[in-house]
A and B are shown apart, each in its own frame.
Chain A
Amino acid sequence: MNTFPIELTALLPLWIVVGGALALLMLEAILGEEGRKAAPVLAGTLLVLAAGCVFHLLSLKGMPGPLFHGAVVVDLYSLTLEGICLLSALLTCVFSASYLRRERAVTGEYYALLLLAVSGMFTLVLASDFLTFFVGLELMSLAAYVLAGYLRVQERSTEAALKYFMLGVFASGFLLYGIALLYGASGVLRFPDLRHFLEQGRYSSPLVEAAAALLVVGLGFKAALVPFHGWAPDVYDGAPAPVAALLSTGVKTAAFGAFTRLFAEAFGLPGNWVPAFAVLAVLTMTLGNLGALGQESVKRMLAYSSVAHAGYLMVGLSAASLAPTDDLERAVAFYLLAYTLMTAGAFGWIAWAAGKGETGISFEDYRGLGLRSPWMGLMMALYMFSLAGMTPTAGFFGKYYLFKLALDHGLLGLVLVAVLNSFVSAYYYLRVVVSLYMKPAEGKETVLPSPPLDLRVAFLLCGLGVLAAGFLKFPF
């Protein structure tokens, strides 16, 4: 029936983005100005193509499973995460097109870097062996560092890139140490082999425990968990808004997806890790929310909110050793999808609404805007309601599944803290809506320029997605 080897077809999305990234790099060199103009369209087309492949693979009856001698695994979970990363990248691509035109910073390599980051994300979520895992993580991170500092004439952007890079490589160091220790203890690199090794009662080996701790620290940096989150607000705030959308959704999705797989499948952690994860969850939620409360800039508020949302994910992850892996992965994947729709939407909205040089990003700048530009206002309000976890948005369903998972496995105290945090967060998300609709504009009655068609489609996609995601039927 199928003459191609499964290795080629099952990883087709990856081949498309890798090939696309290389092609985009060449494009500008060969075609010059023409290539530069075609870059966003080409990148978008390739991403849509890859998304089509992912959808096709998801609709197949059987999953290909482990490939390349167990270096990668193509299953429902990794395909779903690929889909979410693609969604994030596609939204970023659309947001960037008009943003870069406005900032007069259009280049072909921006989109090449975007696709390279996506290929890193793919490798990371597909990884089923520590080497692939690390290569994917680095591929993704390196592209992300450059993207964060893309507007190199802006001080904020450069500072963000530098911070991101310094702490990022530091974290990679931790991760590599962890992997090395684990390899020293077990002599294996593949996740299933490690699981097999650990299940023979070696959990309590100090080498394994130290390795696990180092891995948590390293991944904690990447996923911006408190107390390893110091870089996140500055980076998300300083990076160009469309890049912030990618960093806080796509990159986070890949990092968290891999985090979950690593601890749920490879480690299968014993129960005594629950308190450690729970503490991380509580710290991340609480400090993220407290940080967001005091912000005057909506963009920075979103940066802190992104930290807080990692905390909600950790609530689900705390049940990793108690809940069935399938349930955990489903809840995490759904949350990441909801989170991507609302956070990318919000950052993209800011990218458009902030105006040239991102000058208008504070709460005050949006006063009365919802009444003057009803559609734009409505979209942002939807994202905010979803971030606040109000029904019937995707944000509510996402939180519901995570909290239910934790509660069903007896983590009542943790869920109560999470609920309390969710309550606190409602205040600052609603503040945005209050600014948009309930404060009269002082002085300047700015009306947003009507966004171009592609941007409108992207906002509408996020808005409708946020409304409908809870009720849709997903393959995973």
Chain B
Amino acid sequence: MILSILIGLPVLGAALAALFPQERAAKTISLLASATTFIFSLLLYTRFDAADAGFQFQQLFPLVPRFAINYSLGVDGLSLWLILLTTFLTPLVILGSFSMVDQNVRGYYACLLFLEASVIGTLAATDLFLFYLFWELMLIPAFFLIGVWGGPNRVKGTIKFVLFTMAGSLLMLVALIYVTHEVKSFDYSKIFDYSFPPDVQFWCFLAFALAFLIKVPLFPFHAWLPDAYTEAPAGGTVMLSAVLVKLGAYGLLRFCIPLFPYAARAFSHWIMLLAVAGVVHGALMATLQTDFKRLTAYSSLSHMGLITLGIFTFSLPGLQGGVVQMIGHGVYMAGIFLLIGMLYQRRGSHEMDTYGGAAKAAPLLAAAMLWMVLSAAGLPGFAGFVGEILILTSAYKAWALPALVAIAGFMLSAWYLFNFYGKVFFGQARLNHEDTKPFDKAQGGAQGKTNPQKEGAPPKMPDLSWAEGLALLPLVLAALWIGLTPNFFMDPIEKSLDLKVIEKLKPQPVMMDFAAQQRRLQDEMESNRQPRQKNNH
């Protein structure tokens, strides 16, 4: 019942926010709705039984009886933290957006809440059809968030985002129809227990993985990311980078690996290579950017590659590191993108060179940004550290060479993040804002605002307002908390990861008629692949 409340409350809030004529009322309602959702979601943690790897808080009733499609929800270790992350971040995003969004305000908050509801639904669904319903439903509020309240090129950004995601999902739908037809059920647990023949696993794995890897996004499928992140309004970028892309990683953990373990093992090296390529590509691209929102977008891409790398080491520390890094990444990326939104609101630009010396004018803002940047760079004691170190060590154990490359790529993040921080908050503005390209006037962006500044004048910038500070404080605390007590986050999920992912990956006693086929496929793969772990079979 808790889960239905978690989905229902934001929907109710969205409807009320959209229907109330006053903008003020819409803001209050949406903040209240999301805060209440968060408080309810804490029940998930307090009542969660870490010793039980099965689904908890289950709820089930038939949705489309003729096709045995059920509305069935449940939470286990894989989804617990992601649901809490979502409910934790949404009120902060709403609070942080109070001063940023001034057009079509009611719709904005309705979209945010609607997005929250669909994300929670996606994470809680234990029926494959229901999962797909929520998964695709997420696109609609995200489409509006980017497209209506975004920057000057918002239409391009949103269309790219939707079409990329859709391309993956549609292929997943085909595989999903196939899988559920084979098992004659949409129930996740039934499909989980079913073992598919290797060739079916191959194709289904590819179809599911494509959908999730586009969402993550993994290296060659990331073309939507820079545009969508850059063009989305600050609140939308936070939801995208902190919550939505985590669903890709969640999908890999929940569906791709446990349902098709044989194919997952077979493809693991390829995916690790792509993940490393993503880490390096994201980092290199980030160093080249002059627009710091784009820089952060690429850094997010780079860090998501790291998470994928951790997941595909198939070791408990790697997986735990992946999950902790998901939470940490969610928290510090939310912080960074909110702060970027606040900077943009003050100066109307994302160009690093138009800033400078902002630390003097807005010391609290600078301090909060420093905190988040330190977390993102993986400094010990902060949110990024634990996940990063677990992922990299287990990746090194699994496959040394790419892990070393990934470490090098990750070290770059300190370089570009501090470079960005230094340019924006210290020194002098190199360019006057008036000299930058007239992005807002020419293209008529919804966010486009000019904020004229006199030549040679010291940078004027108000410091954090109460609402902004209140939105950032929980993120600052959470970043530290994750860094200091990682076990708090890792313990409840250990059992689920172990039984639902690792156990599934151990070679199953293969049925006799599959044995020959499996050997043949194995040989084929062996012949065109790098050396693999021999204990796989």
Chain A residues within 8 Å of B, Cβ to Cβ: 371, 374, 385, 390-392, 396-397, 400, 403-404, 407-408, 412, 415-416, 419-420, 422-423, 426-427, 430, 433-434, 437-440, 470-471, 473
Contact = CB atoms under 8 A, between A and B. Distances in A.
A473 B64 CA distance: 7
Contacts of A396: 136
Given A392-B137, A419-B173, A438-B148, A430 B65 contact: no
Interface in B112-155: 132-137, 139-140, 143-144, 147-148, 154-155
A403 B137 contact: no
A422 B170 contact: yes
Nearest to B146: A438
Q: Sort A-B residue pairs by CB-CB distance and give the 7 closest, nearest first.
A: A391-B136, A438-B147, A391-B133, A419-B170, A392-B133, A404-B177, A407-B177
Contact of A403 (B104, B148, B174): B174
B181 A390 contact: no
Interface stretch (B89-97, B156-164, B241-249): B156-164
B4 to A, nearest CB: 15
A407 B181 contact: yes
Given A371-B148, A473-B66, 15 more contacts: A385-B140, A390-B137, A391-B136, A391-B137, A403-B173, A404-B181, A412-B174, A415-B177, A422-B170, A426-B162, A434-B155, A437-B148, A440-B444, A440-B446, A473-B65
Interface in B465-506: none
Contacts of A423: 163, 166-167, 170
A437 B132 contact: no
B63 interface: yes
19 contacts: A390-B139, A391-B133, A391-B134, A392-B133, A396-B136, A400-B173, A408-B181, A415-B174, A419-B170, A419-B173, A426-B166, A430-B143, A434-B147, A438-B147, A438-B148, A438-B154, A438-B158, A439-B155, A471-B63
B183 interface: no
B194 interface: no
A47 to B, nearest CB: 28
Interface in B171-201: 171, 173-174, 177-178, 181
A371 B144 CA distance: 12
Contacts of B63: 471
Given A391-B136, A419-B170, A438-B154, A403 B177 contact: yes
A438 B147 CA distance: 6
A427 B65 contact: no
Contacts of B140: 385, 390
B159 A427 contact: yes
A53 to B, nearest CB: 25
A408 B446 CA distance: 47
**A interface majority secondary structure:** helix
Contacts of B159: 427, 430, 434
A438 B65 CA distance: 39
Interface string B323-338: 0000000000000000
Nearest to B147: A438
A96 B2 CA distance: 48
A471 B64 contact: yes
B440 to A, nearest CB: 12
Nearest to A409: B181
Given A423-B166, A426-B163, A427-B159, A437 B174 contact: no
A342 B133 CA distance: 19
B508 to A, nearest CB: 26
B181 A371 contact: no
Contacts of A438: 147-148, 154-155, 158
Nearest to A404: B177
B495 to A, nearest CB: 32
B435 to A, nearest CB: 26
B106 to A, nearest CB: 9
A390 B142 CA distance: 13
B174 A416 contact: yes
B108 to A, nearest CB: 12
A179 B444 CA distance: 62
A415 B203 CA distance: 15
Interface string B211-253: 0000000000000000000000000000000000000000000
Contacts of A400: 173, 177
Nearest to A415: B174
Of A374, A396, A397, A400, chain B has the most CB atoms within 10 Å of the CB of A400
Interface centre among B144, B170, B171 (most CB of A within 10 A): B170
Contacts of B155: 434, 438-439
Contacts of A412: 174, 178
Contacts of A433: 143, 147
A390 B137 CA distance: 7
A430 B163 CA distance: 10
B104 A371 contact: yes
Contacts of A440: 444, 446
Contacts of B154: 438
A419 B155 CA distance: 24
Residue in B65, B135, B171, B173 whose Cβ sees the most chain A Cβ within 10 Å: B173
B147 A407 contact: no
A407 B204 CA distance: 14
Interface string B278-297: 00000000000000000000
B186 to A, nearest CB: 12
A39 to B, nearest CB: 37
B158 to A, nearest CB: 7
- Residue picked from A392, A426, A438, A440, most chain B C-beta under 10 Å: A438
Contacts of A397: 64
A392 B159 CA distance: 20
B163 A470 contact: no
Contacts of B173: 400, 403, 419
A440 B107 CA distance: 16
A372 B72 CA distance: 39
B149 to A, nearest CB: 10
A427 B163 contact: yes
A278 to B, nearest CB: 16
A427 B161 CA distance: 12
B178 to A, nearest CB: 6
Contacts of B65: 473
A430 to B, nearest CB: 6
Contacts of A419: 170-171, 173-174
Contacts of B444: 440
Contacts of A470: 64
A323 to B, nearest CB: 12
B160 to A, nearest CB: 11
B54 to A, nearest CB: 27
Contacts of B178: 407, 412
